[in-house]
Structure 1
Amino acid sequence: MEACDMKRTPRQSHRLLAMCIVTLMGCTSSNEQTSQDASAMSGVAMVDQICSLCHGLTGESVSPMFPKLAGQQKEYLKLQLGDFKRHLRSDTSGAQYMRGFDHLTETQITELADYFSHQSPMKSDADSADARGESIFGNGIPESGVARCGSCHGAGGEGNGRIPRVAGQHAEYAIRQIKVLQQTEQRPRDDSMKSSNHSLSEADTESVARYMATLGAQPQ
């Protein structure tokens, strides 16, 4: 069993968060040698030494503060990593934890995206499906002009190209991202998402996020 898969006490979780912050602060160091060392790392080495601290070695993060990356669409990952590098994603949590990645090379971005996209897809939440969320995902809310989520993300939430996989993603993370789309002009790469109506109530946002978390591969 990988360390990232083990259950943690609150104290251990806080220690993990501290390690993540320290690591990312190290990435923002102005020390020229540090920058050169980071630029010379392969994508796999970065996964092992940096990314795994928050996202897990296989991209199956244990904390909803950090998105699962396992089996995520490669093109989507490349675009988002590029936007983090250029500071084009300014949502609070993303900016806080990814601020040090402006040193990423295009080769590293490609290698990281390739690595995580080839991992076994995100494992689903073991909780029972949310009936209201299932209805919104499969049918939308016609009376409010809300399209069915599956029309873009796929019937099973697998995503496609620039459209992210949502099957098995942490519900709490999905809720935050839906609110980003509702309330801000962030996520410049997501023009297709901006053109979609995301005017869900808070309760419906939570329902569809909980449903998406139950999709995908079953935990073993």
Structure 2
Amino acid sequence: MRPTNSRTPHVLALCLATLMGCSGTSEEALQQTSTLSGIAMADSVCSLCHGLTGESVSPMFPKLAGQQNEYLQLQLTDFKNHGRSAATDSRYMGGLSHLTKTQIAELADYFASQRAMQADTGTSDARGEVIFRQGLPERGVPPCSACHGTDGGGNGVIPRVAGQHASYMSQQIMVLQQTGQRPNGAPMLPVDHALSQADAESVARYMAALRTKQ
């Protein structure tokens, strides 16, 4: 289902406030978001950063197209409860504390149902392929494919990584080395701590070039 293109002045003001970290948004304005459907939010709010179908253009913002439904719900719940404390998370998603459970479910359903995020057309990374397929046994790093799937499609609360922005993924690997900023990312701590910045960038480039089924 394709959302409408209507954007009320209130919603546009709220979008701008959200992008600025909601520093000047009134409590009343934030509470009014609870009246919007998930599809209306995807159209009028989320699309400004993530694209109408979740295929974001800017690597600053992750692609959501075809992302795992359970993973999306988990992350939206974390944003609602301020469970993700990295600086960029707080800056761009700090205004979501008034999301309802229904909105979270509807947003997850909407983005998960879109065509899977499209692979980067750049050259694949040989070092990254080794890390993704074989891991780094000498450092105790298992292959990424063991959890994210051989095609990078993810499963349940394990996110789709195939086709995601490379720079976003490498930055998240570094964030996940600090589990205080991403408590639900604790299972990644042993893996990420053993990856250097160069390794993180290599495997991120490889995953960005992966193509996966919906």
1:146 correspondence with 2:141: yes
Q: How many Å apart are 1:21 and its aligned residue?
A: 4.3
Distance verdict in 2 for CA 1:122–1:198, change over 3 Å:
farther
Q: Please, what TM-score do these two structures have when normalized by structure 1?
A: 0.84
Q: Which residue of 1 aligns with 2:6?
A: none
What do the CA deviations read for 1:106-162 (whole angstroms, capped 9, x no partner)?
000000011001100010000111000001000001111111000011111100101
- Given candidates 81, 85, 90, the residue that maps to 2:80 is 85
Q: Which residue of 2 aligns with 1:167?
A: 162
The count of corresponding residues between Structure 1 and Structure 2 is 199
Residues 152 and 163 of structure 1 are in contact (CA less than 8 Å); yes or no, is this contact kept in structure 2?
yes
Residues 30 and 95 of structure 2 are in contact (CA less than 8 Å); yes or no, is this contact kept in structure 1?
no
Q: Please, what TM-score do these two structures have when normalized by structure 2?
A: 0.87
Moved more, 21-30 or 45-54: 21-30
What do the CA deviations read for 1:87-117 (whole angstroms, capped 9, x no partner)?
1100111110000010100000000011001
Show the 5 A alignment for 1:44-59. 44-59=39-54
Distance verdict in 2 for CA 1:162–1:195, change over 3 Å:
farther
Residues 25 and 100 of structure 1 are in contact (CA less than 8 Å); yes or no, is this contact kept in structure 2?
no
1:134 correspondence with 2:129: yes
SS of residue in 1 equivalent to 2:183: coil
The amino acid of 1:30's aligned partner reads: S
- The runs of 5 or more residues in structure 2 that have no matched partner are 1-13
Show the 5 A alignment for 1:32-51. 32=28, 34-51=29-46
Show the 5 A alignment for 1:4-15. none
Q: How many Å apart are 1:195 and its aligned residue?
A: 4.7
CA RMSD, 1 decimal: 2.0
The amino acid of 2:120's aligned partner reads: D
Percentage of matched positions with identical amino acids:
62
The amino acid of 2:96's aligned partner reads: F
Report the Cα distance in structure 2 between the residues aligned to 1:174 and 1:44, rounded to whole angstroms: 26
Report the Cα distance in structure 2 between the residues aligned to 1:134 and 1:158, rounded to whole angstroms: 15
Report the Cα distance in structure 2 between the residues aligned to 1:92 and 1:183, rounded to whole angstroms: 12
- The runs of 5 or more residues in structure 1 that have no matched partner are 1-18
The amino acid of 1:72's aligned partner reads: Q
1:102 correspondence with 2:97: yes
What do the CA deviations read for 1:47-105 (whole angstroms, capped 9, x no partner)?
11100000000000000100000000000100110010111100111110000010100
What do the CA deviations read for 1:154-177 (whole angstroms, capped 9, x no partner)?
111100101110000000100111
Report the Cα distance in structure 2 between the residues aligned to 1:193 and 1:129, rounded to whole angstroms: 23
Report the Cα distance in structure 1 between the residues aligned to 2:115 and 2:89, rounded to whole angstroms: 24
Report the Cα distance in structure 2 between the residues aligned to 1:106 and 1:133, rounded to whole angstroms: 37
